[in-house]
Amino acid sequence: MNTTTAVASDFRSFVRFVLSEMKPRGKFLTPFNVISIPIILCGLGILVVRFIYGLGSVTNLSQDTPWGLWLGFDVVTGVALAGGAYVITFVVYVMKVEKYQSIAKVTVLNGLLAYAFYGGALIFDIGRPWHAMNPFIGNDFGFASVLFLICWHFMIYMVATFVEFSPVIAEWLNWQKVKRFLHKLTLVTVILGITLSILHQSGLGALFLMAKPKIHPLWWSEFTPVLFFVSSIYAGLSMIIFESTISHKVFRKLITPDKKYSFEDILFGLSKGAAVVIFVYYFLKALMFIHGKQWDMLNDGWGQWYLVEVLGFVLVPGFMFAFGYRNRSLNVIKTASVLALLGIIVNRLNVSVIAYNWYEEVRYFPSWQEFMVTAMVICAEIWIFRWIVTRMPVFSTSH
């Protein structure tokens, strides 16, 4: 057999293997599939209408409110919820804490998919999507633009997370030499990814600094970039707890039992970190509130809504994380993670949507099509995640 024939044979084997992995596994009509398939199909239909007839055909956006749910949730909130990837990789590969090694791969996968889907959803929100490359090349924005920096940080970080996860893909394809080479790049890409995460998490906050006249004073601050970065840390930790709890039940057959540290020990460690960061975030919020002398703003509905956010969705889950860690209560920790995630969603939507143009008589509210497309993005991400973890060695060390 000559070299050309051998290469052709290997390629055919590779194609057959990939095609075999595309086949559905297990029961198809599961409750999630029954719910998600109509949502995805409906969302795709809405996007067809959106790209043919424009944003106005399916959204309630306007010239006064050009940013809506697709940007406020899919991008601004979604990026914060994906913060667990850079936090865990920092702890595992830089601080060398072996305890969290078992969740590093799945956390990086979650981060990669979140950036791919939520970042990709930004195309839906651009009135002229063919101009999406303008911020990357500085056209009409300039190289000093915050969008220019965010876009480049975002894109390079996605490349870094893909390289971090690529050894799993190499193991799946049985490319051992490629896997060994990619493992050598891990530390470099982790450090690059952490640096880029700090930049674009805070950069998203910097994007709103120029919108001071339009954002309610209770949610605007010159320290918004710092708040966005700090909140992304505990948002990522809370999301890991939430997702891990679900994955531990749904994919329990794929998780190898020979782990040095138990699942409960990992959750307790994550809750301790989340509690510390939440209290740091709350201290910064309180300091800015007191320094800004904003007491009079608490007398109306906006002030009461602000208290609901900072007390009910920040301080309360912070104490719950601390209580759950101290008393070894997993149920309290899991509940706290849900409240903390709701707090992040509420805060990011307040800054980008709810408290934006707060003084207008006619306010923006998302259309049902906007909600449907957002649900479609979430369902599609879960489908891809499930396909990857059921075929690649994400929860185990080998295929």
pLDDT tens, 371-389? Answer: 999 999 999 999 999 999 9
pLDDT of res. 312: 95
Task: Give the residue, 146 or 295, on which the prediction is more confident.
Answer: 295
Indicate the range of 206-220, 252-266, 278-292 predicted with least confidence. 252-266
Length in residues, the chain: 399
Residue 6 has pLDDT above 70, yes or no: no
Q: How far apart are CA 228 and CA 317, in angstroms?
A: 18
pLDDT of res. 27: 79
Using CA atoms, how far residue 353 sits from 147, 202, 270, 387, in Å, is: 18, 18, 30, 33
pLDDT of res. 378: 93
Amino acid at 74: D
| Domain range annotation of the chain | 39-359+369-389
Task: Give the residue, 296 or 12, on which the prediction is more confident.
Answer: 296
Residue 227 has pLDDT above 60, yes or no: yes
Residue 143 has pLDDT above 80, yes or no: no
Residue 85 has pLDDT above 80, yes or no: yes
Residue 57 has pLDDT above 60, yes or no: yes
pTM over 0.85: yes
Burial status of residue 134 (CB atoms within 10 A of its CB: 0-12, 13-18, 19 or more):
middle
Tens-digit pLDDT profile for residues 22-36: 777 777 888 899 999
Residues 6+ apart with CB under 8 A from 362: none
Percentage of the residues of the chain whose pLDDT score is greater than 70: 94
Q: Under CATH, which architecture does the 39-359+369-389 domain have?
A: Up-down Bundle (1.20)
Q: How far apart are CA 196 and CA 290, in angstroms?
A: 32
Indicate the range of 1-10, 126-135, 232-241, 282-291 predicted with least confidence. 1-10
Angle value at C-alpha 299, between 298 and 305, nearest 5 degrees: 55
pLDDT of res. 187: 86
Task: Give the residue, 2 or 206, on which the prediction is more confident.
Answer: 206
Q: How far apart are CA 10 and CA 1, in angstroms?
A: 12
pLDDT of res. 308: 96
pLDDT of res. 200: 85
Mean pLDDT value of segment 73-101: 89
pLDDT of res. 235: 95
Residue 366 has pLDDT above 60, yes or no: yes
pLDDT of res. 259: 60
Average pLDDT, the chain: 88
Residue 396 has pLDDT above 80, yes or no: no
Intra-chain end-to-end CA distance of the chain, in Å = 29
- 233 token code pair: 């840390």
Choose the most confident range, by mean pLDDT, from 88-97, 110-119, 229-238, 292-301.
229-238
Mean pLDDT value of segment 93-97: 88
Percentage of the residues of the chain whose pLDDT score is greater than 90: 52
Using CA atoms, how far residue 104 sits from 65, 131, 297, 376, in Å, is: 39, 36, 43, 27
pLDDT of res. 334: 96
Using CA atoms, how far residue 334 sits from 238, 244, 252, 268, in Å, is: 8, 10, 18, 10
Task: Give the residue, 125 or 57, on which the prediction is more confident.
Answer: 57
Tens-digit pLDDT profile for residues 154-194: 888 899 999 999 999 999 888 888 899 998 888 889 888 88
Residue 2 has pLDDT above 70, yes or no: no
pLDDT of res. 228: 95
Q: Are 161 and 152 in contact (CB under 8 A)?
A: no
Which residues does residue 341 pair with via DSSP β-bridges, in sequence order?
A: none
Confidence category of residue 136, pLDDT binned at 50, 70, 90: confident
pLDDT of res. 258: 59
Burial status of residue 274 (CB atoms within 10 A of its CB: 0-12, 13-18, 19 or more):
buried
